Amino acid sequence: MKADHDAIPDSDPIELFDSWFVEAEASEPGFANAMALATATPDGRPSVRMVLLKGHGSDGFVFYTNAESRKGGQIEANPHAALLFYWHGLGRQVRVEGPLSEVSAADADAYFHSRPRVSQLGSAASDQSSPLDRRQTYLDRVDELDRRYEGQEIPRPPHWTGFRLLPEQIEFWLDRPNRLHERRRFSRAGERWTSTLLYP
């Protein structure tokens, strides 16, 4: 069996992610930035959930959340995480691993106030991951905040913030016929990336 060219080039992984992401936005609008975020407790108990990518580039991958939530507590205790993007229509997957750091207050403010007002209210009213007696309690809190800040800007809660994952490893996976898939892993040492193909 003769191999064709490597479809995952040995190139800059950030630029490669950018090009794949642009294609995903075109093929899967509304879902391209959905990613699984895996965190763990200090004793290694994992936890995973879907979040939305809100920024990416050479300085890392950014998402926003309530720092007092379950994932926020895990990030505080163990500031390392893994991300997974899966674009079914393209037959592509990207895994990203690295340490996390909090975005600046100015960045968190800017993104919070770029969201629809009802989303801002929902975030401000939520004690994310805490027990809730009934859904109406949460909706009542949203309504109360809406009345309190009628005609005013909703202040960003100090615990609502963003995190930036600085990639140390990025792995690209490409679906191939007959499950003869293609994988390439990039590893960072300082500012330099090296890569290797992996068996699927």
Structurally, the chain folds into a number of domains equal to 1
Flag whether pLDDT at 9 surpasses 60.
yes
d(CA 133, CA 12): 49
Q: Answer yes or no: 179 catalytic.
A: yes
| Cβ 184 vs Cβ 196: under 8 Å | yes
The reply to whether 136 falls in a domain is no
Q: Give residue-wise pLDDT tens across range 53-87.
A: 999 998 999 999 999 999 999 999 999 999 999 99
In a domain, 152, yes or no: no
- Per the CB < 8 A criterion, the answer to whether 131 and 179 are in contact is no
Domain span at 33 = 13-110+164-198
Cα distance between residue 37 and residue 105, in whole Å:
22
Cα–Cα dist 191/172, whole Å = 19
The CATH number that applies at residue 21 is 2.30.110.10
pLDDT in tens, 167-186: 999 999 999 999 999 999 99
Residue 3, pLDDT above cutoff 70: no
- Provide the CA 90 distance to its chain's centre, in angstroms: 19
Task: Give the active site residue among 156, 179, 184, 188.
Answer: 179
**Comparing C-alpha atoms, which of 174, 171, 169, 177 is closest to residue 6?**
174
Asked if residue 139 is part of any domain, the answer here is no
Query: Has residue 71 been placed in a domain?
Result: yes
pLDDT digits (tens, 9 = 90+) for 103-115: 999 999 999 999 9
